[in-house]
Structure 1
């Protein structure tokens, strides 16, 4: 192999220069890490943090014949449809990040929410029927017709009180206690603790799952959000604002 005829001999880089380049590299890396951290932190930060659940007493909740739970003010023009499984971690993430923003839009009458609860994660719960029983509890609370009460219960069940997959889950008595802490009446508490709606909830969950599969071409994934029969990208930070616009 031919060699260069140049007689230039590279001089060794001084230790001072080496340290300077190393420090610069560390600064660049630190800046990148910080930027990534800030981006992730922003995307994982609850929107409208501090607002909480629905507040307006004019917001009602109704249990449809197909098991859908509709939360909103009467006569609202838009309805956002949300499919969730009570044990689904991604559903918990959606509620933690966007739940308070959704609650405010409901209070302001921008849209109603139609919750379709499915139970395909029953087998991932220790009791093997947690999702179904949690859906039954949602139906017991929804039957009372109190929108803010249902919102508080739903929020707790999908955020601070959501069990982990394949971990310990809530028995009916615990579900009833969560409802009572949200302000549920003794009648609602009794409905949950006795499992009064479990069989009905199972049928409703199966109907919701079929509806979800039909929307997604035979596949089922939660959470799934729809507006005007169009799938919404719920991982877009502005999806709630866009739906309300």
Structure 2
């Protein structure tokens, strides 16, 4: 095969040209970095009512339903909304960080009650292979004790500072979940319920019920987090959605 390369030797670039190209490359790199940072920030939500914390009104109770739903609110709450979450869902953690404290205040004030529905479709993305189910069992144990502030603190912690990484190599053991429950103020029998995994089988069945309910409300899709005011799904990018559903 003949060599078709031209008999042309390019002249070396001058120092000035080299510096100019280097400066241009630096500008491009900086521009890309700025775009990347901005795009990353678009995924963040501002924290509402920062500093309020979890529910702390002793009049707020947690009620574990036969179907695994957990109702958090005062008995005289004006309205109930429904929240669907998976304990391993990063977007659920983002929403909890952004709106959890604002929701807690509305619950304390009696303007809202929250009915939590937990799904476990991310089990396979956990290190243990069943973290979502075990975490659901844990929140059921804590909710069954009846204290709204304790359940709220436990739920908030699981979805924020203690949430394992989706797709990670490890997650929380039952003992670690129980330790968080104890630190949240759960009584000894609830802590033992978490350690023993007493509600794991029930949690599996209840997660299926929650998943089916979510499909009905969400055009056949299981996507978390999903928040509904009746049959109306709320837009988490609308920073005022909590105030709007609470009517204030």
- The normalised TM-score by structure 2 is 0.82
Contact 1:85-1:121 within 8 A present in 2 as well: yes
1:232 matched to 2:234? The reply is yes
Tell me the residue number matched to 2:49.
48
Per-residue CA shift, 1:68-93, capped at 9, x if unaligned? 00000003231110000000000000
Which position in structure 2 is the counterpart of 1:209?
211
Q: Tell me by how many angstroms 1:41 deviates.
A: 8.3
- Unmatched runs of 5 consecutive residues or more in structure 1: 1-25
Deviation string for 1:105-156 (max 9, x for gaps)? 0001111000000000000001010000000000000000000000000000
Q: Which residue does 2:149 correspond to in 1?
A: 148
Distance in 1, matches of 2:224 and 2:75, equals: 27
Q: Describe how 1:145-184 pairs up with structure 2 within 5 A.
A: 145-167=146-168, 168-184=170-186
Q: Which residue of 2 aligns with 1:78?
A: 79
Distance 1:105 1:77 in 2: 10
How many residues align? The count is 214
**What's the RMSD between the two structures over aligned residues?**
2.1
The aligned residue for residue 16 of structure 2 is none
TM-score, normalising length from structure 1? 0.83
Distance verdict in 2 for CA 1:106–1:181, change over 3 Å: same
Alpha-carbon distance between aligned partners in 2 of 1:226 and 1:101, rounded to the nearest angstrom: 16
Moved over 2 A (4+): 40-45
> Match for 2:187 among 185, 204, 215?
185
Larger displacement relative to structure 2 (114-123 or 75-84): 75-84
Counterpart of 1:125? Answer: 126
Decide whether aligned partners of structure 1 residues 41 and 57 sit closer, same or farther in structure 2, where only a CA change above 3 A counts. Answer: farther
Give unpaired runs (5+ residues) of structure 2: 1-26
CA contact (8 A) 1:43 1:237 kept: no
